[in-house]
A = this chain, B = another copy of it.
Amino acid sequence: MREEDKPEIRKLLLFRDMSTENFDRLMQAAYAQTFPAQLELIRQGEPADFLHIMMEGTVELFSGWRDRETTMAVVRPVSTFILAACIKDAPYLMSARTVEKSRIIMIPAKDLRATFRLDPEFAVSTITELASCYRSVVRHAKSLKLRNSRERVAAYIYRQSSLAGNAASFVLPVEKRLLASLLGMTPENFSRAIKSLQSDGVAMDGMRIIITNMKSLEAVAGPDTLIDGSDPLSGFPAATAPSI
């Protein structure tokens, strides 16, 4: 891995508080790799051998059952993914594939487990990180169970705008079909949902969303910090959080 990656990783909440000695040893065991787009990095069910750190690019976490597939999360730099499986030394519950060319650093799970037994600060950071991940999935599940698809789309748009500093306009960070899957609907339905939101202050031009009436959108979205909020996941302030 590159030497200039280390300070970036060190900034992550997960690695910020551990001793320099332990951090360096962990980094020594790690290695970086660059993957092309559409490559399956992880297959659900396989043993979890590595903690992954996104340095550049985009990765989709998804799950399959029978012939169906759904997006569980989209990961952007700089953040880690599939921490829990590594900790439990259990099979991955989700698969991962690159959405675009991505550079990823991989840390052997056993080094990780050894380190939080050695370094109490790292243990505390791991606890905090896991609690955040847990709460993030709970929010996802709440959104799915409590809102219909139109409301989920509205809430998504409202949230993205908030994250961009209440911007009246922003560009969707990933393909619409991927967003649709993340939000638990078909691409067709996503398309129709946005169209139906025209009457509630949302316009679209290609990948760009334009909010023409924030109050109206807010009324549909019904934003709720207990669903749409985010605990700081990776040590970034909320305004720059890498969430999709």
Chain A residues with a Cβ under 8 A of chain B: 44-45, 63-66, 68-70, 72, 83-85, 87-88, 90-91, 93-94, 116-117, 120, 123-124, 126-128, 130-135, 137-142, 144-147, 184, 222, 224-227, 231
Contact = CB atoms under 8 A, between A and B. Distances in A.
B226 A147 contact: no
Contacts of A128: 87-88
B146 A84 contact: no
State the number of copies, please: 2
B139 A141 contact: no
A138 B231 contact: no
Given A117-B120, A145-B70, A226-B63, A93 B138 contact: yes
A145 B139 CA distance: 14
The dominant DSSP class at the A interface is helix
Contacts of A138: 72, 84, 93-94, 137
Given A65-B142, A70-B146, A226 B44 contact: yes
Contacts of A225: 45, 91
A135 B128 CA distance: 16
B137 A93 contact: no
B127 A87 contact: yes
A65 B147 contact: yes
A123 B134 CA distance: 17
Contacts of A135: 84-85, 88, 90, 93
